[in-house]
Each structure stands twice: as structure tokens, then as C-alpha cells.
Amino acid sequence: MRKKDGNDESAPTLAVPSGRGSRLVRLGWMATGVAGGMLAEGARQLARGNRPKVSDLLLTPANARRVADQLAKLRGAAMKVGQLVSMESGDLLPPALAEILGRLRSDARAMPKAQVTEVLLANWGAGWEKKFKHFTFTPMAAASIGQVHRAHTLDGRDLAIKIQYPGVRESIDSDVDNVAGLLRLSGLMPKGMDIAPLLRDAKRQLHDEADYIREGNYLQRYGELLSDAPQYLLPGLHADLTTRSVLAMDYVRGEPIEALLDAPQAERDRVMTLLFALLLREVFEFRLVQTDPNFANYRYDTRSHRLVLLDFGATRPCKARMASDFGRMIKAAMATDRAALSAALLAIAYFDESTQEKHRHAVLDIATQALEPFCQQGGYDFGTSDLPERVRAAGMTLGLEREFAQLPPADAMLLQRKFGGLYLLAIRLKARVDLHGLAQATLHPRQRAV
């Protein structure tokens, strides 16, 4: 094993609390810090002659920073809650909290070398280091439930090793519940926000993502499914070094997908077309969908011009009925058939027979807007689109209707979140994509053959 170089030694690290007790202590510190910050701010305001409201004392940048700092230190499910809330509900949060929680998507701190070694010893056994020519303890990436290291084996393999933070799997349910409760009690979450669906999804997604053997199986499955599509590049799995907490894959070079922002228009358009084409194949052909919309799951090999696909922990089977209903929904929108669209939305359960007519029309209007890119022949210009803002505003208006409390099935929410994530990436890259043509080719393959 090579010793860490100077850069390794200077990299900031932070041990992950692995026991339930230590994790609860962290959460307690968060609550205490928020309360202390509230008292301090109240004293300052009173000294100036002001009579602040309790909500004003709670919703301060300092309190928001305390919450985000503790979530980042816990990682795992706790950090995932902050990520999901910031991604799904950014416009509903106070600006200070939205900004700071948003940083959780990229601000995970790495485990120190000693903790990495403990995890590898537990999973690979004593003497594991004898299999490696070099193991880089400074991670290439650190996220909510694990971090990735580069390693070279004695038999010549160049690997990316994903190592799960200790205690993550065992603390998922309690972390999610405790953090959500503290966010509510602290006043840092608006009282009217219903984040229960997000929390249920966070638990299920984290339990799936925390099983690296499961992820490895899906990585291999996607390699088989995309064997006819060389424009996609996936790392190979190394099963001999993979456990539930350690995932060994080929190291694959690639630039962050956002780095394409300065690429020629045609290249940006091509990459987003590949991503949308893949998602349509996942839903309607593979019946298997990688549901995590995180941009970090995609990279781009500028030498081979191939799209690199990473992280299959959030992969879910897509039921045939759901795929059929989603197909009907897209076809109806493309045909401007409002009655057919209403029938598809009813079948998916975006509303039911008891839903008031005004709410049914509101859902139809939102769906029509959301499917707008599929309806424009010749290509949709995401770079000039304000679609997410319009859909979000309409959704918030509907959400404030106390008489309407219909939530679609979790599978439907996952699909809409994945499509929404690609919309956001296409907007970021200012791409133009012929989604109408892609959908026609996917949903009407016989017409394509003619």
C-alpha cells in the first residue's frame, strides 16, 4: 500500500457517527443550537426595541446553517432528508434554509482514513491491503450514504470502490423520522408543508441504495440491456470485492455532465437526447428505471463521446400497468385529447371519481403543461423554457386547496421526479430535444419502421 501523499493528508475529513446514541446526540445538538440561536436573536431584537415574531427568530440564516451543518455531519438518511427537501420543495422554503440545505447535495465530508480502514477490514477481512498495489484513501467523491475511492489491484485492475458510511443501514428509519420531526419542531419547515410522501420515499430509496449487492446486480443488468447501445458507457462490476457495504467497479473516466454547458449546441442536444431516449426505454421497454435524478449520476467521456452512467442504487422495476398508463398520458397530450388525458390521469390515480371538477381541471392543466415538451414537433428549446416555474406555481396553488388531498402512487411520483430531473438538466445545458419524435418512435414503433 502506498502512503498518503501531501494532498491526501490535507484533505478535510470528518468521522461518521455510527451508533444510534451518537447520532441522537448530534440531532440533540441541532435542536439545542436552534433554540440557543433563537434566544440570542430575540435578545438582540429586544435590545433594539423590536418585538419579533417567533417565526422570525427561528427562520434566521444562522439557525438554518446549524441545521445544515449537523445534517452534513450525520450523512446517511439524515443528510438525504435535507437533500430531498431542498430538491423537491426549494421554492416553498425560506430563502436562507433553501440555499443552505441545497448545499447538502454536494457538501458531504469524507470519512478519515482510520474509519475507511475499519469498514474495509469488516468487509474484506484481515490482510485486504495485500490485494492492492495502490489504494487512494482520499475519495474521488463523497455523498450522503457513501464515498468513492480509486484503487489498483495487484492483478492489474483499475477500480472505483464505493464504501458505505458505517451505521447508515441500521439508522435509516430513525434518522428520517427524527430529522423530519426536528425540522418541523424547529419552525424551519413551513407548517403547511406535507413532506410525508418525501419521507416515505427517502426511507425506501435509502434502504435500496444501502444494499450494494442489489446495486451491483442492477449495474450488470443495465449493461446487458444496453449492450446494443454503444453510446452509453457503464462500469463493469467486480463481484469478488463487492459486499452489501462495499461496491467494486471499473474506474471510468468522464467529466461532470454540467461541464457540457460550454460545449457546442449540437453536443448538448445529443447528450440530452440520449438521456431522454434512455428514460423512455427504461419505462416502456426495460420496465426498469433508475429513479434518482441527481446530475452526479451522469458523466461524459469527451474522448469517446459516450455518456457514462453511474449509481444504480435507486433502480426500481416499473409495473406494466404504470408504463401503459404513462404511455396513454403522453399520447393523449401529444394528440391534444383532453378527455383521453383525463382518463389516463384517473387510471394512474392523480385524482379519483370523488375529486371535484375544479380540482380535476387543475390537475389536467398541470399535466398539460408538464407534458408540453412532448407536444412540440421538431424539438423543444429547454434553454428558453420557464416550464418548471409554471408547473411548480400551479402545483403550489393546487396544494393550498384544503379540499384536495390526492397524492399519486409512489411509483408515479418517482417517474415524474425523474422526468422533471431531466427537464432541469436540459434547462441547465440549454439543450434542444425532439421529445415528440422520441416518444413517437418509442410508443409507435411500427410507425417508425414504416
Domain ranges of the chain: 11-107+171-192, 253-450
What's the Cα-to-Cα distance from 53 to each of 50, 58, 63, 82, 283, rounded to whole Å? 10, 9, 15, 25, 49
The percent helix, strand, coil of the chain (3-state, each to 5) is 60, 10, 30
Q: Sign of the C-alpha dihedral, residues 63, 185, 171, 84?
A: negative
- Reported in sequence order, the residue ranges of 217-280 that DSSP labels E, i.e. its strands, are 232-233, 246-250, 255-256
Of 351, 343, 358, the closest CA to residue 405 belongs to 351
By DSSP bridging, strand 306-309 and strand 232-233 are parallel
pTM of the model: 0.78
pLDDT given for residue 231 in this prediction: 97
What's the Cα-to-Cα distance from 400 to each of 88, 104, 193, 365, 375, rounded to whole Å? 16, 28, 9, 16, 29
- Identify whether 337 is a catalytic site residue: no
Of 418, 447, 98, 73, the closest CA to residue 279 belongs to 418
Three cell numbers at 398? Answer: 393546487
CA pair distance 232, 435, nearest whole angstrom: 19
- How far, rounded to the nearest angstrom, does the alpha carbon of residue 394 sit from its chain's CA centroid? 23
Residue-by-residue pLDDT tens, the chain, 450 positions: 433 333 444 445 545 444 444 444 444 444 444 444 433 443 344 445 554 443 443 445 565 555 556 555 555 555 555 555 554 444 444 455 555 555 544 455 678 899 899 999 999 999 999 999 999 999 988 777 888 999 999 999 999 999 998 887 887 887 777 767 666 655 555 555 566 766 777 788 788 889 999 999 999 999 999 999 999 999 999 999 999 999 999 999 999 999 999 999 999 999 999 999 999 999 999 999 999 888 889 999 999 999 999 999 989 999 999 999 999 999 999 999 999 999 999 999 999 898 899 999 999 999 999 999 999 999 999 999 999 888 878 877 776 666 666 677 878 888 988 999 899 999 999 999 999 999 999 998 664 432
Count CA atoms within 13 Å of residue 374 on its CB side: 27
CA pair distance 340, 347, nearest whole angstrom: 11
CA pair distance 19, 170, nearest whole angstrom: 9
Runs of H (alpha helix) within 51-210: 54-58, 61-74, 76-89, 95-102, 113-124, 168-186, 196-209
pLDDT given for residue 110 in this prediction: 74
**Active-site option among 175, 208, 292, 311:** 292
DSSP 167: T
Could you please report the per-residue DSSP string of 10-74?
HS-B-PPP-SHHHHHHHHHHHHHHHHHHHHHHHHHHHHTT----HHHHHS-HHHHHHHHHHHHHH
∠ Cα 201 69 15 (to 5°) = 90
Three cell numbers at 231? Answer: 453510446
